Amino acid sequence: DAGVIQSPRHEVTEMGQEVTLRCKPISGHDYLFWYRQTMMRGLELLIYFNNNVPIDDSGMPEDRFSAKMPNASFSTLKIQPSEPRDSAVYFCASSLVRGETQYFGPGTRLLVL
Protein backbone atom coordinates (compact mmCIF):
# COMPACT_ATOMS: atom_id res chain seq x y z
CA ASP A 1 0.00 0.00 0.00
CA ALA A 2 1.47 3.35 -1.08
CA GLY A 3 -0.03 5.34 1.76
CA VAL A 4 -1.18 8.92 1.42
CA ILE A 5 0.77 10.77 -1.26
CA GLN A 6 1.32 14.51 -1.23
CA SER A 7 3.00 16.79 -3.71
CA PRO A 8 5.04 18.84 -3.82
CA ARG A 9 7.07 18.05 -0.71
CA HIS A 10 8.48 21.57 -0.61
CA GLU A 11 7.20 24.77 -2.10
CA VAL A 12 8.81 28.19 -2.03
CA THR A 13 6.84 31.04 -3.54
CA GLU A 14 6.50 34.78 -3.40
CA MET A 15 3.72 36.67 -1.71
CA GLY A 16 0.73 37.06 -3.98
CA GLN A 17 1.31 33.92 -5.99
CA GLU A 18 -1.14 31.04 -6.22
CA VAL A 19 -0.14 27.82 -4.50
CA THR A 20 -1.71 24.42 -5.15
CA LEU A 21 -1.06 21.45 -2.91
CA ARG A 22 -2.06 17.96 -3.99
CA CYS A 23 -3.09 14.81 -2.20
CA LYS A 24 -3.87 11.24 -3.14
CA PRO A 25 -5.58 9.37 -0.27
CA ILE A 26 -5.29 5.67 0.45
CA SER A 27 -7.50 3.73 -1.92
CA GLY A 28 -10.84 2.87 -0.38
CA HIS A 29 -10.70 5.54 2.30
CA ASP A 30 -13.87 7.62 2.26
CA TYR A 31 -12.62 10.45 4.47
CA LEU A 32 -9.98 12.99 3.56
CA PHE A 33 -8.60 15.72 5.81
CA TRP A 34 -6.36 18.73 5.29
CA TYR A 35 -4.32 19.97 8.27
CA ARG A 36 -1.86 22.79 8.79
CA GLN A 37 0.93 22.59 11.33
CA THR A 38 2.61 25.64 12.82
CA MET A 39 4.72 26.13 15.92
CA MET A 40 2.15 28.41 17.49
CA ARG A 41 -1.05 26.50 16.80
CA GLY A 42 0.10 22.90 16.35
CA LEU A 43 -1.98 20.72 14.04
CA GLU A 44 -5.08 22.55 12.87
CA LEU A 45 -7.82 20.91 10.86
CA LEU A 46 -8.66 23.02 7.82
CA ILE A 47 -11.32 21.01 6.01
CA TYR A 48 -12.52 17.46 5.56
CA PHE A 49 -14.38 15.49 2.94
CA ASN A 50 -16.58 12.43 3.02
CA ASN A 51 -17.09 10.63 -0.28
CA ASN A 52 -15.63 13.65 -2.11
CA VAL A 53 -18.11 16.05 -0.48
CA PRO A 54 -16.80 18.81 1.81
CA ILE A 55 -18.34 18.25 5.26
CA ASP A 56 -16.83 21.07 7.31
CA ASP A 57 -14.61 23.88 6.12
CA SER A 58 -14.87 25.99 9.26
CA GLY A 59 -11.14 25.58 9.84
CA MET A 60 -10.21 27.27 6.57
CA PRO A 61 -8.60 30.50 7.72
CA GLU A 62 -9.78 32.83 4.98
CA ASP A 63 -11.43 33.00 1.58
CA ARG A 64 -7.96 32.85 0.09
CA PHE A 65 -8.03 29.14 0.92
CA SER A 66 -10.08 26.67 -1.10
CA ALA A 67 -10.13 22.88 -1.38
CA LYS A 68 -11.62 20.48 -3.86
CA MET A 69 -11.98 16.76 -4.23
CA PRO A 70 -13.03 16.05 -7.82
CA ASN A 71 -12.81 12.29 -7.35
CA ALA A 72 -12.06 9.66 -4.71
CA SER A 73 -8.36 9.59 -5.47
CA PHE A 74 -7.41 13.26 -5.64
CA SER A 75 -7.76 16.45 -3.66
CA THR A 76 -6.25 19.92 -3.90
CA LEU A 77 -5.75 22.74 -1.43
CA LYS A 78 -5.29 26.10 -3.08
CA ILE A 79 -4.12 29.38 -1.61
CA GLN A 80 -4.68 32.46 -3.74
CA PRO A 81 -3.11 34.90 -3.14
CA SER A 82 -0.52 33.48 -0.77
CA GLU A 83 0.88 35.50 2.15
CA PRO A 84 3.98 35.00 4.35
CA ARG A 85 1.78 33.98 7.32
CA ASP A 86 0.62 30.97 5.28
CA SER A 87 4.08 29.45 5.67
CA ALA A 88 3.60 26.12 7.42
CA VAL A 89 3.57 22.38 6.84
CA TYR A 90 0.34 21.18 5.25
CA PHE A 91 -0.71 17.59 5.81
CA CYS A 92 -3.29 15.50 4.07
CA ALA A 93 -4.77 12.47 5.87
CA SER A 94 -7.34 9.85 5.04
CA SER A 95 -9.36 7.37 7.04
CA LEU A 96 -11.59 4.41 6.43
CA VAL A 97 -13.90 4.90 9.38
CA ARG A 98 -15.41 8.09 10.65
CA GLY A 99 -13.71 9.45 13.75
CA GLU A 100 -11.03 6.80 13.95
CA THR A 101 -7.47 6.27 12.79
CA GLN A 102 -6.26 8.73 10.20
CA TYR A 103 -3.25 8.04 8.03
CA PHE A 104 -1.11 11.02 7.18
CA GLY A 105 0.92 11.91 4.14
CA PRO A 106 4.48 13.23 4.45
CA GLY A 107 3.35 16.84 4.24
CA THR A 108 4.13 19.84 2.05
CA ARG A 109 6.46 22.41 3.57
CA LEU A 110 5.34 25.80 2.24
CA LEU A 111 7.41 28.95 2.48
CA VAL A 112 5.91 32.20 1.25
CA LEU A 113 8.46 34.98 0.92
Partner 1 sequence: DQQVKQNSPSLSVQEGRISILNCDYTNSMFDYFLWYKKYPAEGPTFLISISSIKDKNEDGRFTVFLNKSAKHLSLHIVPSQPGDSAVYFCAASDPSGYALNFGKGTSLLVTP
Which residues lie near partner 1 (CB under 8 A)? 4, 6, 31, 33, 42-43, 45, 48, 50, 55-56, 91, 93, 98-107, 109
Which residue lies nearer to partner 1 by CB, 54 or 81?
54
CB of 19 or CB of 46, closer to partner 1: 46
Shortest distance (Å) from residue 55 CB to partner 1: 6
CB of residue 81 to partner 1, shortest distance in Å? 27
Whole-number minimum distance, CB 16 to partner 1, in Å? 27
Neighbouring residues of 10: CB distance < 8 A, sequence distance ≥ 6: 108, 109, 111
Return d(Cα 106, Cα 6) in angstroms, integer. 7
Which CB atom, from 55 or from 72, has the smaller least distance to partner 1? 55
